[in-house]
A and B are shown apart, each in its own frame.
Chain A
Amino acid sequence: MRIFVNERPADVPEGATLLAVCATRKPDADLSICNGFPASPETVLKEGDRVVLIRRGEIPTSEELDVLLAARHSPGVHQRLKGSVVGIAGCGGLGSNVAVSLARVGVGELLLADFDVVEPSNLNRQQYFVDQIGMPKVDALMANLARINPAVKVVASCVRIVPENMKDLFGRADVLVEAFDRADQKGMLIDFAMRKFPEKPLVIGLGLAGWGRNDLLTTRSSGNIHLCGDGLTEAAQNRGLMAPRVALVANMQANLVMEILLGPDSEIGCSGQ
């Protein structure tokens, strides 16, 4: 019968076990996955099964990584995320952190736009590295995302986002993440989105300066607009934008994007009793 081993077709005897396939194809493997789920060596294989054999410590190919991710998230969740497109308007503190989390969970395509370059002052909260100073943020972020999850498709546009190009940049997105720094830019994006794509969910970061006060960070929704943050705290003297609180709000945004794409997780909130 024909099965697939590490995404390559392989002919194996009827009734072969995972152990037998492993012994002939990759004897040093210590992790075996069948049809997206970790499986025991005694598993009897069927025609068309997709088997992935991994040796710990070995760098997997992009395809193998994708299968490992599917095994971790379950194939249904993985497929849904993989089939999704998320727009990220701005690649600073919010946008770079949102992009990293969404790439880690395997969102299929990220549309990034930002005109800026990486500066030393960005490194206190943004997902860049010292050796990327001077690079356009979208290029640096694309490179970082490729190191995290090469299976994610990234479209990077090094442009200033204006009403004239927003439809081209983000029209395809299932969800749009607002990740600007300046309030007037946030207003411009929200205004455009409400007029031109009122049906598209829009996830905004609002109020995230300073440190502490986890309890003030919440999500408020009004129709298709979702606001993450404390809604109050603007950057000021002695109260800057800093990694923990910015990343918290960015990840509230990323978490909400997941909820929009997948629906709420019915298990969260259940105590299991």
Chain B
Amino acid sequence: MLKVNGEKIAFHESMTVTDVIKAMKFNFPLLIVKVNGVYVPRDEYGNRNVPDEAEIEIIHLISGG
């Protein structure tokens, strides 16, 4: 089990950050991702595995300022 922005989702072996984003059905182009409090750069989403029980924060960025 993983916790993404406080919501529980199923974990499977060798799950990557990209898989988590897909599982959450996030389609925003710009995200900030932290796994257990550690920042994951965008170019590592596809090969960064998330451990079971991980707490994941995903912030989507929107324009305006």
Chain A interface residues (CB < 8 Å from chain B): 90, 92-95, 179-184, 186-187, 190-191, 194-195, 198, 205-209, 222-223, 225, 227, 229, 231-235, 241, 246
Q: Chain A residues near B39 (CB, 8 Å)?
A: 194-195, 198
Contact of B63 among A190, A195, A225, A235 (CB under 8 A): A235
Residues of B within 8 A of A195 (CB): 39, 41
Distance (Å) between the CB of B54 and the closest chain A CB?
A: 14
Q: Is the CB of A206 within 8 A of B41?
A: no
Q: With A187-B32, A222-B57, A225-B32 given, is the CB distance from A182 to B37 under 8 Å? A: no
Q: Are A209 and B34 in contact (CB under 8 A)?
A: no
Select which of A95, A191, A225, A241 is within 8 A of B64 by beta carbon.
Answer: A241
Contact between chains at B65 and A92 (CB < 8 Å): yes
Docked complex Cα distance between A181 and B63 (Å):
6
Chain B residues near A231 (CB-CB < 8 A): 59, 62
Q: What are 16 A-to-B residue pairs whose CB atoms are below 8 Å?
A: A93-B65, A182-B63, A186-B61, A186-B63, A190-B32, A191-B32, A194-B32, A194-B41, A198-B39, A205-B65, A206-B62, A208-B64, A233-B62, A233-B64, A234-B63, A235-B64
The smallest C-beta distance from B64 to any residue of chain A, in angstroms, reads 5
Interface assignment of B8: CB less than 8 Å from any CB of chain A: no
A232 with B62: CB separation less than 8 A: yes
* Distance between A229 CB and nearest chain B CB, rounded to angstroms: 8
- The reply to whether B64 and A209 form a contact with Cβ atoms under 8 Å apart is yes
- The one of B42, B57, B62 that contacts A183, using a Cβ cutoff of 8 Å: B62
Q: B59's closest neighbor in chain A, by CB?
A: A227
Interchain nearest-CB distance for A89 vs B (Å) = 10
Chain A residues near B10 (CB, 8 Å)? none
- Interface positions of B (Cβ within 8 A of A): 29-30, 32, 34, 37, 39, 41-42, 57, 59, 61-65
Task: State the CA gap A31–B63 with chains docked (Å).
Answer: 47
CA distance A92 to B64 in the complex (A): 10
Minimal beta-carbon separation of B34 from chain A (angstroms)? 6
8 tightest Cβ-Cβ pairs between the two chains A and B: A194-B39, A181-B65, A234-B62, A183-B61, A94-B65, A183-B63, A187-B30, A183-B30
* Chain B residue contacts of A207, Cβ below 8 A: 62, 64
* Bound: A187/B62 CA distance, A: 9
